[in-house]
Amino acid sequence: MTLRIEDIETERLLLTALSYDHSEAMFRLWSHPDVCRYSGTVTDYDRNEIPMPAASREDSDKIIDFWQRATADGWGFRWAILECSTAQMLGHIGFNSLGPTSELAYHLHPDHWGKGIMSEAAAAAIGWALTTKPGTKLEAFIEPANTGSVRLAQRLHFSPTGHFSDGAERYERAPSIPI
Ligand SMILES: CC(C)(COP(=O)(O)OP(=O)(O)OC[C@H]1O[C@@H](n2cnc3c(N)ncnc32)[C@H](O)[C@@H]1OP(=O)(O)O)[C@@H](O)C(=O)NCCC(=O)NCCS
């Protein structure tokens, strides 16, 4: 069952379904070592590993293909995060799973770190999940050394659970906490 991904506008950003329109910016994002450092293994839809940082647009396009197929299969998706003032894609955010538990994941180009961009995008994404999937428990998996992501998750009211998977700690956000 194909997911319908609505656009969301925030103060500075437009979240819109990730597509091949974003191919060039996807390569800028995924060819940057600081984006890949704590992002685990990246695979195409057939579970073949894509070596990271991406060496070519062909490789980063496989990530777009992955999320388009996940959207068509109904289990996860990505919004491209566009800056309204420039229409530039800064990163992406979305869900690795959707259901009783939904896993939030986010990636931003380092040129834009530390300006509250992901706090703004994540608040919108969480708001969407709380409205569209009432009662869903939000989770995120974060390596302890990824201090930026740990701070972001805590600011968004995710709490560490002490459970680890592939070196990443599971964080969880109670559905009862409003955004
Ligand atoms: C993690 C990430 C999304 C943060 O995005 P961001 O837009 O810079 O975050 P914000 O500006 O909204 O900041 C949120 C909080 O994190 C802090 N922060 C952001 N980057 C940080 C860094 N590199 N080191 C320490 N703290 C950082 C901010 O100061 C802020 O803290 P505060 O609430 O105490 O003020 C971004 O660094 C990123 O994309 N990293 C690479 C991909 C990645 O690791 N994704 C997560 C995988 S789990």
pLDDT, residue 72, reads: 97
Rounded Cα distance between 51 and 98, Å, is: 26
Terminal C-alpha separation, the chain: 28
pLDDT, residue 87, reads: 97
Residue nearest to atom 28 of ligand 1 (CA): 114
Residue nearest to atom 14 of ligand 1 (CA): 152
3-state helix, strand, coil in the chain (%, to 5): 35, 30, 35
Rounded Cα distance between 59 and 63, Å, is: 7
pLDDT, residue 179, reads: 85
For the CA of 118, the nearest atom of ligand 1: 7
Residue nearest to atom 12 of ligand 1 (CA): 116
Two tokens at 87? Answer: 């229409």
Task: Compute, in angstroms, the gap from residue 68 CA to the centroid of ligand 1.
Answer: 26
Q: Residue 122, exposed/middle/buried by CB under 10 A (0-12, 13-18, 19+)?
A: buried
Average pLDDT of adjacent 10-residue blocks, the chain of 179 residues: 95 98 98 97 97 98 98 98 98 97 98 98 97 95 98 97 97 91
Task: Compute, in angstroms, the gap from residue 46 CA to the centroid of ligand 1.
Answer: 30
pLDDT, residue 38, reads: 97
Domains of the chain: 8-173 (3.40.630.30)
